[in-house]
């Protein structure tokens, strides 16, 4: 996340917000945020949201996650909002929404849903 310039914006039980600037190194050929940036932020926000619900002495790993790209990532930065849909001991179902922010206006650019596995450390 350091490489992306990402930072945690909000931390609550089952809810995480992360943002990162859209810089030339992470754009695609048309100048929009690359889908990989949307995926990385969404996966991380969802994973951290799951971590807030994981048992003590556990980390989390993504077992699977799906992304729907909804619009080009145009603007100054991306914001990902991760949330837990269903916590569990063995599996945590999560979702994340990614927004492009340009001059204060937000555009929904990606929706993710997946499964996170708590792993003892």
Q: Which residue has the tokens 């945690």?
A: 8
Q: Please list, residue by residue across 47-67, b when 16 or more beta carbons sit within 10 angstroms of its beta carbon and e when fewer do.
A: bbbbbbbbeeeeebeeeebeb
pTM, two decimals, is 0.95
Query: What is the reported pLDDT for 98?
Result: 98
- pLDDT tens digit string along 50-99? 999 999 999 999 999 999 999 999 999 999 999 999 999 999 999 999 99
Q: How far is CA 60 from CA 6, 45, 65, 110, 121, in A?
A: 19, 12, 13, 22, 10
Nearest Cα neighbor of 106 from 29, 17, 1 is 17
């Amino acid at each position: 996340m350091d490489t992306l310039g990402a930072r945690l914006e909000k931390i609550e039980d089952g809810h995480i917000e992360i943002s990162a600037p859209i810089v030339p190194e992470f754009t695609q050929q048309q100048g929009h945020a690359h889908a990989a940036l949307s995926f990385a932020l969404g996966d991380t926000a969802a994973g951290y949201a799951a971590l807030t619900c994981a048992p003590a002495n556990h980390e989390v790993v993504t077992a699977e996650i799906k992304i729907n790209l909804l619009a080009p990532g145009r603007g100054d930065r991306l914001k990902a909002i991760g949330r837990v849909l269903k916590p569990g001991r063995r599996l945590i179902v999560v979702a994340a929404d990614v927004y492009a922010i340009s001059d204060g206006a937000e555009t929904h650019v990606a929706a993710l849903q997946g499964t996170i596995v708590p792993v003892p450390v």
